[in-house]
């Protein structure tokens, strides 16, 4: 079944139910999916490293990819 058919089937099921628990569960799934941001799941140390890397890039401090790979390998 393709994605559009799946969405239509889900919409039909949702329209046909009067079960508030199912409706609330679907709403919760969408709420969690909207608010999920990988940034919030990173540790503070990881966030700081990324910020530092962006600052260095913006300041023109770059190294060739090959050098970076050698450094982290």
Kindly tell me if the per-residue pLDDT of 26 is higher than 90.
yes
For residue range 27-63, what is the model confidence (pLDDT) as tens digits?
999 887 776 678 888 899 999 999 999 999 899 998 8
Residue 22: per-residue pLDDT: 94
Kindly tell me if the per-residue pLDDT of 20 is higher than 70.
yes
- What is the DSSP track for 14-65? HHH---HHHHHHHHHHHHHHHH--HHHHS-HHHHHHHHHHHHHHHTT----H
- For the chain, the first-to-last Cα distance in angstroms comes to 43
Sorted by where each begins, the domain ranges of the chain are 1-36, 38-73
Residue 37: per-residue pLDDT: 76
Residue 1: per-residue pLDDT: 66
Place of tokens 């969690």: 32
Q: Is the distance from CB of 53 to CB of 62 less than 8 angstroms?
A: no
Residue 48: per-residue pLDDT: 94
């Amino acid at each position: 079944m393709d994605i559009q058919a799946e969405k239509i089937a889900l919409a039909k099921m949702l329209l046909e139910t009067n079960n508030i628990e199912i409706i609330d569960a679907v709403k919760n799934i969408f709420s969690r999916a909207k608010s999920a941001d990988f940034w919030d799941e990173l540790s503070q140390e990881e966030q700081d490293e990324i910020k530092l890397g962006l600052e260095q890039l913006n300041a023109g401090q770059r190294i060739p990819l090959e050098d970076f790979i050698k450094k982290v390998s």
